[in-house]
Structure 1
Amino acid sequence: MKFISPYIFQAYLTCPREAWLEYHGIVSDQDHEFLALGRLVHEGSYQRVRKEIFVDQLLKIDLFRDEMVAEVKKSSRHKEAARLQLAYYLYYLKHEKGLEFEGVLLFPKERKTERVTLTPEIEEKITQLIEEMLYIFSQETPPPVKKSKYCRTCSFQEVCWG
């Protein structure tokens, strides 16, 4: 099975058009204020225990916490997408490396955590999503612009709504 970057995987769950653009190398506004804020939260949180681990130049695991793969997020606004992104990490580690872990989402600004377990149902959902994404990404043009509540904070805002 072909794997895609976890960032693109999560982006697809929020906006298939954004994911298509990223997959095809169209880079968003890297100076966008919300991207900068996300980087600050990421870099400033859990510094004493942070141990970023790169796996196969595809996954960037933020840290391990209590024998769990941990992912740091700026906010819980995209919690379902973040949950599936972390499950995607667990899926990859299981199917490509033979390693089984549980996961934990960390929302430092909100002082929240959430455990993520890779169940057979979630594995099936991830398999289906990967197939769906690869089909969408194989298309010559991106999915059409579709207004959502996330558009106003998106770093691709100018690309889509220019």
Structure 2
Amino acid sequence: MKFVRPYIFQAYLTCPREAWLEYHGLISDQEHEFLALGRLVHESSYQRARKEIMVDNLLKIDLFRDELVAEVKKSSRHKEAAKLQLAFYLYYLKHEKGLILSGLLLFPKERKTEKVELKPELEAEIEKLLQEMLPVLTAEKPPPPVKSKFCRTCSFQEMCWG
């Protein structure tokens, strides 16, 4: 099974075009205010617990907390995509490293957490999504832009809507 970077996996869930652009090495506006805010939240939250770990030069795990793989997010606005991204980490760790772990989504600004377990139905959803996204990502041209509620805060907004 071919794996993609977790950011691309999560981006595909909200916008296949954004995922295609990232997959093909196009860099979004790195000075975009929402990216900068996300970096700030990430860097300033859980500093004492921070134990960023890189796995196979693919996964960048934010931290481990009580034997849980933890992922820090700016907000719960993309909660379902964040949950699937974390499930993707757990799936990868299980299938590539033989590690059966649970996960924890952390939304520090909202003081929320959510536990994520890689149950068979979630694992099947990850496999289905990987099979669905790989042809889209490897296509010669990006999917056409589709207006959504996420466009307003997207760092690729200029590229899609000029």
TM-score tier (shorter): over 0.9
Deviation at 1:139, TM superposition (A): 1.1
Which ranges in structure 1 are unaligned for 5 or more consecutive residues? none
Match of 1:60 in 2: 60
Secondary structure of 1:109 counterpart? helix
Deviation at 1:36, TM superposition (A): 0.2
| 1:35 equivalent in alignment to 2:35 | yes
Deviation at 1:137, TM superposition (A): 1.2
Which moves more between the two structures, 126-135 or 81-90?
A: 126-135
| 1:130 equivalent in alignment to 2:130 | yes
Deviation at 1:78, TM superposition (A): 0.1
CA distance in 1, matches of 2:49, 2:137: 36
Match of 1:4 in 2: 4
Secondary structure of 2:100 counterpart? coil
CA distance in 1, matches of 2:44, 2:106: 13
CA distance in 1, matches of 2:132, 2:145: 18
| 1:22 equivalent in alignment to 2:22 | yes
Which ranges in structure 2 are unaligned for 5 or more consecutive residues? none
Deviation at 1:138, TM superposition (A): 1.8
TM-score of the superposed pair, with normalisation by structure 2: 0.99
Deviation at 1:105, TM superposition (A): 0.2
- Identity of paired residues, percent? 78
- 1:1-162 aligned at under 5 Å gives the runs 1-162=1-162
4+ aligned runs moved over 2 Å, structure 1: none
Aligned residues: 162
TM-score of the superposed pair, with normalisation by structure 1: 0.99
Secondary structure of 1:115 counterpart? strand
CA distance in 1, matches of 2:100, 2:12: 25
